[in-house]
Amino acid sequence: MRVFADRQDAGQYLSPLLSRFRGRADVIVLALPRGGVPVGAAIAEFLGAPLDVFLVRKLGVPGHEELAMGAIATGGVRIMNTDVTRALGVSAAMIDAVAIREARELARREQEYRGNRAAPKLNGRIVIVTDDGLATGSTMRAATAAVRQKNASRIVVAVPVASARACRELGEEADEIVCAEQPADFEAVGEWYADFSQTTDSEVRTFLRQAEEAYAGRTK
């Protein structure tokens, strides 16, 4: 199995598997910050497509924050796990309080990465959602559900490396999933990267700016 040099190398390795989407005006690449952005930048460059970020924040059960009762995402989308909220008796007021807190952090990150640019419109578009890898796939599942609410015509989840279980489960929610590598002995995403150092906010902004400039140059 391949070990990637870094996230950009992983994105370049993954990109040819998406070549059927190359040059299409209705395609957009959405990357989950922060680690998904270098991967998404490589894919967007290969496809000649625009790149943007898609933010997801977990809504943790009060007092048991590690347990997700839902998620919020870019554009005001809220996804709830009603089985969890009903089983634990989480009230609507408690849900709203958690959602408001996480919405503030999501808005801060939106401002950090996007500035004053509006969130992209996804209606009728082929949306390729990417990250640097999938372990459990929970964040990607929330992102996929949120993109679905935005009326995308097709949702393609594309990652360089993932557990077979995560790929299988995401395949039931996305229209298509592309996992370049599915190691039989998968334990963690980082073990498949020689350099898995954290992507910084500054690097995210740089990738987005460069992608925007490149796409603008191609569409003049």
Q: Is the pTM of this model over 0.85?
A: yes
Between CA 193 and CA 190 the distance in angstroms is 5
- Predicted local confidence at residue 70, as pLDDT: 87
If pLDDT is split at 50, 70 and 90, which confidence band does 220 have?
low
* Structure confidence by residue, pLDDT tens digits, 84-140: 899 999 999 999 999 999 999 898 888 899 888 888 999 999 999 999 999 888 889
Please answer whether residues 71 and 38 qualify as being in contact, where contact means their C-beta atoms are separated by less than 8 angstroms.
no
- Predicted local confidence at residue 194, as pLDDT: 98
All domains of the chain, ordered by start, with CATH?
7-56+122-215 (3.40.50.2020), 57-114 (3.30.1310)
- Predicted local confidence at residue 24, as pLDDT: 96
* Structure confidence by residue, pLDDT tens digits, 163-219: 999 999 888 889 999 999 999 999 999 999 999 999 999 999 999 999 999 999 887
Provide the mean pLDDT of the chain. Answer: 93
Average pLDDT over residues 157-163: 97
Between CA 215 and CA 44 the distance in angstroms is 9
Strand partners, 127: 28, 155
- Predicted local confidence at residue 77, as pLDDT: 81
Average pLDDT over residues 11-40: 97
